[in-house]
Chain A
């Protein structure tokens, strides 16, 4: 009896350890999430300053009838300065420079983009919400302290007084930062967006899938269904399993040496990135696909063979369709892993500063993780929240892909 009590209390202790382990890991996940969300949420809003903008046709030297090309080339930099002067009258030159610094350096682009969309506003005065500079944005969001000596602040006392005046006039407001989702990278945090990196990753994943999925499927079907097991297949099997465990940077080196060095594909393009991620995903797909082919009951193969189907008909009509849910699940999980890989992208140069949103797999691009890495290296406080917001987006994509994998398996799985 005593020994039974001992055994039962041992079980209770074991359960307590298990509960503790689960709770501890949940605690760390929560801390991680809290940290990412509290830092990153700022990236989704940006501070704007309301300003009166007069599109003076004489000043920018265009009129209602100007061609789009002319509108594009008009002197917006000067117009931006003029807008600042008009909204803050009676500034001396030193004060003007300080006030101009409170607005984004890309002021001129904002004016240009607006006028290109609304050419009929030439000659008219409108109220625009001009994006504030990142430093001002951080002050407004409370990420930079105000109560430290002026020398330690990026916004000096004069700028603070202007800001307070603007605030009291109700001209400072926060808007949802669409730019983060629509723009490419930028030197200025306030205009930097993730979309270029998203497209880069998307092209890379499309290349990765179209390369790795057919090859992985063919290889696994051949190994599992056609080839006679022996020494050679054993060696191949061991090597595939080993490849799945090779660090991703090695695949990056392979891409750099082979695809770029020997074959001569261009540097920092999603085509090469996708192929490298494909090399990396291939073993995962082969292993998942073989396991899923093996789980198709032999009785199905016998049934097809017994009515006179050839081996190939048996495999293609019956075995592959039945194994596809498992193969697809493995593929998606492999691709989700590939989406988060940074090291291979670093090796093949998909970590450069790219402003343009790539239009295809042969345009220079970054990927999501390498963009996050780039931002995390920047000194400005504004990029810190971009980094966390980028991580949030990456996590969102990973969650979507893994959910898709689970759903596909549930939907397509055959009940025996």
Chain B
């Protein structure tokens, strides 16, 4: 199967990650197709979150973390190379975390912060538009439009997480990384986020780490199964969940381990 170079949002090759002497990722090669939702699944400690955080270099802040291998953004830009600064990279690759982490500032400030530091808006009204549009896309605008100046930590968990998604898309990234975004939420809030992910994939490439296999099967087009730092299998979600090639994958999705 030959695919065009530019149909991949991120290509990785022979990625290994060590925390000190401990190996977390072992020789993983995986490509992420554009405008798809790719789920990274696997048991706890399999390295899927570590791998996700390598993609926008969030592991840089951990001193003991050593990343090796090739990471290419849009097939050309070396993510760990000198041609792109980490701040610019994170402008292109946004991230949503496991626990909602809005800044303890106003709702408006939370969304406006990214556009402000990147100079995306030259006037206040432009900034207002960006904030409004981002909140709209995150499906939060209607709920918060009358209290934009309220402190964001006063929102419910699900609202906070959608605010974090709005914050991530306010800087117009190409790719959004999500690290178990629903694990701290109740089922209704989870359903809202899943719905949102489905809408967002029109415009963004989404890579999501999830513990829930049903969630992976509901929202993603592609699924990658990690185990003990190795990529066991990667393919279309429908195939992984119906007739996986590897027995390990089959054991995991049928609940025999993990």
The answer to the question of B103 belonging to the interface, with a C-beta cut-off of 8 Å to chain A, is yes
Please report whether the interface of chain B is mostly helix, strand, loop or mixed according to DSSP.
Answer: helix
Give, as a whole number of angstroms, the nearest-CB distance from A314 to chain B: 10
Q: Which residue of A lies closest to B115 (CB)?
A: A307
Question: Cβ of B87: which chain A residues have Cβ within 8 Å of it?
Answer: 308-310
Interface pick from A94-102, A204-212, A298-306, A369-377? A298-306
The answer to the question of A414 belonging to the interface, with a C-beta cut-off of 8 Å to chain B, is yes
> In the complex, are the beta carbons of B104 and A306 less than 8 A apart?
no
Query: B94 contacts which of A229, A301, A307, A414 (Cβ < 8 Å)?
Result: A307
Give, as a whole number of angstroms, the nearest-CB distance from B111 to chain A: 10
The answer to the question of B3 belonging to the interface, with a C-beta cut-off of 8 Å to chain A, is no
Q: How far, in whole Å, are A414 and B95 apart by their CA atoms in the complex? A: 24
> In the complex, are the beta carbons of A308 and B90 less than 8 A apart?
yes
Query: A307 contacts which of B61, B104, B171 (Cβ < 8 Å)?
Result: B171
> In the complex, are the beta carbons of B153 and A308 less than 8 A apart?
no
Give, as a whole number of angstroms, the nearest-CB distance from A304 to chain B: 7
Give, as a whole number of angstroms, the nearest-CB distance from A6 to chain B: 46
Q: How far, in whole Å, are A364 and B61 apart by their CA atoms in the complex? A: 52
Please report whether the interface of chain A is mostly helix, strand, loop or mixed according to DSSP.
Answer: helix
Question: Cβ of B153: which chain A residues have Cβ within 8 Å of it?
Answer: 414-416
Which of the listed residues A300, A305, A317 has the most CB atoms from chain B within 10 Å of its own CB?
Answer: A305
**Residues of chain A from 228 to 249 with CB closer than 8 A to chain B in the complex:** 228-229
> In the complex, are the beta carbons of A302 and B58 less than 8 A apart?
yes
Give, as a whole number of angstroms, the nearest-CB distance from B147 to chain A: 17
Question: Cβ of A303: which chain B residues have Cβ within 8 Å of it?
Answer: 97, 101-103, 164, 167
Residue-wise interface mask of B (94-112) relative to A, using a CB-CB cutoff of 8 A (1 in contact, 0 not): 1101010111100000000
> In the complex, are the beta carbons of A307 and B99 less than 8 A apart?
no
Question: Cβ of A129: which chain B residues have Cβ within 8 Å of it?
Answer: none
The answer to the question of A322 belonging to the interface, with a C-beta cut-off of 8 Å to chain B, is yes
**Residues of chain A from 298 to 342 with CB closer than 8 A to chain B in the complex:** 299-310, 313, 317-318, 322
Give, as a whole number of angstroms, the nearest-CB distance from B152 to chain A: 11
The answer to the question of B235 belonging to the interface, with a C-beta cut-off of 8 Å to chain A, is no
Q: How far, in whole Å, are A297 and B153 apart by their CA atoms in the complex? A: 13
Give, as a whole number of angstroms, the nearest-CB distance from B237 to chain A: 26
> In the complex, are the beta carbons of B117 and A300 less than 8 A apart?
no
Residues of A whose CB lies within 8 Å of any CB of B are 228-229, 297, 299-310, 313, 317-318, 322, 414-416
With A303-B97, A307-B168, A414-B104 known, 20 other A-B pairs at CB within 8 A are: A229-B63, A302-B97, A303-B102, A303-B103, A304-B103, A304-B113, A306-B56, A306-B95, A306-B168, A307-B171, A308-B87, A308-B88, A308-B90, A308-B91, A308-B117, A313-B117, A318-B103, A322-B104, A414-B153, A416-B153
The 9 sampled A-B contact pairs (Cβ below 8 Å) are: A302-B58, A302-B97, A303-B101, A303-B102, A304-B103, A309-B117, A310-B87, A414-B104, A416-B153
